[in-house]
Chain A
Amino acid sequence: MRTRLTPLHLLAACAALVSVTPLLYLFVRTGSAGWADIWQILARPRTLELSVASLGLAAAVAGTCIALGVPLAWLLTRTAIPGGRLWLIVAALPLAVPSYVAAYTWLAAFPWLQGFAPAWAVLSLVSLPYVVLPVAAVLSQVDPAFDEVARTLGDGPLRSFRRTTAPLLWPAAAAGGLLSALYTLSDFGAVSLLRFDTFTRVIYTSYRAAFDRTSAAVLSLVLVLLALLFVVLERAMRSRHQQWRVGSGAARRAERVPLGPWRWPALLGVVGLFGLAVGFPMVVLVRLMVQSQRFEADPGSWLAATGNTVQAAGIGAVFAMLLALPIGVLAARHTDRVAKGVESAAFVSHALPGVVVGLSLVYLGLTVAPALYQTLAMLGFAYAVLFLSNAIGSIRSATAQVSRNVEEVARTLGDRPTRTWWRVTARLSAPGIIAGALLVLVTAMKELPATLMLRPTGFETLATEMWTFTTIGSFSQAAPYAFVLVLLAAIPAFALARLTGRRS
């Protein structure tokens, strides 16, 4: 069947084009510097150093997440560990601690921390759920009959695990590991606070220093290309993982392995890990909150920052949904080449670190659209570009859940495609789309680097206030902002945990 292009294809293509504008502009901007300059920057030993540091950190975090996450997921889903299913909710909680808040609490407790090792530890702890959640979901979904058949065919428990369960697990674990690597590569806050030079930190400092903008642009492009590589690998892994998704879910639940005397050491390990990832930051935060009461309370600036945060993120969420709507609907309903191409805008967005979007929009604002530079619209657009993939994902899955038959019936009853969408599809997918918009909203609220670079002068959000106080060492003054940020971030974390819980 030939591809038939609809107005929806055109609309989605326009949206995709708009969303990759910052990246395209970055290419143009970098290219205009001339190959000689670009090559000179790429050939610097410093660039190689940065690549090694960034990739090394990403690899270390991914490795740690897999090494700790897989056994952890197994303990939580397949063994009779005290606490049972409650742990699956706890497992998502590290996501509620933005990396820069985690780094801030560790610094507040141990001000001498800096460099590779603390950055590695902090980022590993906060991105552990990227591996634990999908692996736990697979483990609780796998039909125990696989294992039972393997056992009757002569495999011992370990051999059976290796031959029947592990192959199903591996793609999920690898995809999770790549996701944590991508998260590390894009992270700006934690590495900056812990003073470990990666691409993001150096790009930001050379942008601030203002004398070396070409260098910032070239490094941004290198970073984006590395991130794209991770995204492509992650998608490949995930699609393998989905191919292997089994059955109708009617399968029985696996029996939990009794741990016997081992359950106390196991429990200690689990509690210890989550204690470091969530408990410790929360205790420090609360202590700092109490200390901050000694300073003159200034609820005015705190309220203003919250209001600003909601406003900017709200604009971002609206922009993101507007851009994502045609793309998500197209991706859910068409599988032609155009639809696939347009949807790749989503994974480009996924690969764009906040620093890079911030930088390219600063350039774009200064040279092409000075009227928009440092406006809320520009900041909202940055959020839209950064979180487009989340928005597309939620619209896509909400739309895909609406049965195509229902739409077809509406067509035969006399509705044009747009009217069908409005009378049927939109009504049925509305809850999913609204939930998606709210998730984009709360995710945008904790965004740091692009906000720092693009916010209007004098416009402070929770993240920027917290950042400013932390960088001047006023840890307790930063505490209330950090606290609200954690509460906000807990919303998407819980949403994710519920999703995993429902699937398992």
Chain B
Amino acid sequence: MKLMHGWLALQAITGREVHKFVRQPGRLASSLVRPLLWMVVFAAGFRQMPDLGNVIPFDPNLDYRLYMVPGLAMMVCLFNGMQSSLAMVYDREMGVMRLLLTAPLPRDYLLACKLASGAFLSLLQALAYMAIVVVWGIGLSPWQVLISLPILLAGALMISAFGLVLSVYIRQLENFAGTMNFVIFPMFFLSSALYPIQRMHDAGAEWIYRVAMFNPFTHAVEAMLGVVIVSTIVFYMIAAAGYDPQRGLVKNARGG
């Protein structure tokens, strides 16, 4: 396989998915409304309930809505990943899959292109969601979004890959409701998306805790939470150092 050939094929496959997505503004809207509903409506009442404070490493004053961001960003990826997997089923039924499989390219590579295009769309949607949160002004900084980008991408790829596996086993198109019930909801709820999984343990729901620990979605959320927390600490330290008149940036700036 020549490099240019591979690149053209990747462009074609991704371009087709993006083109389709752009033509369905409702899909973008719903992918944004969903997490925002959780953040605005669900969190309106629920933000008083979870006690994040004494689970290390959470700041007791952390805004619950901010806690939700990684989980919801991953949920955006999860929905898109499942939609991509259904698009594969659709392609299979519509014959486009045959066209792909009879292209003079290694089959694995074509699958990888599909994976990449699904993850790329997930990433776009999750970024759009996070951009809204940044503008909303509840304390998410653009830097945090930027730093979490690699993890978001890794999570999106993981979910896309999982979606590809599902697309092998989903026989009919009408199965989105089933996917919701049996894939999206369990993955989302059995994770630390809504509250630290330590809480499941504390509440004595041991097997739920174990399942959640086993759930790759949990780890994607945790990794992003980690970035949010670590970068918060890093930013805080930089800021604190900056305000230290002894050796900080502010002094240097003034001195220079």
Partners in one complex: no
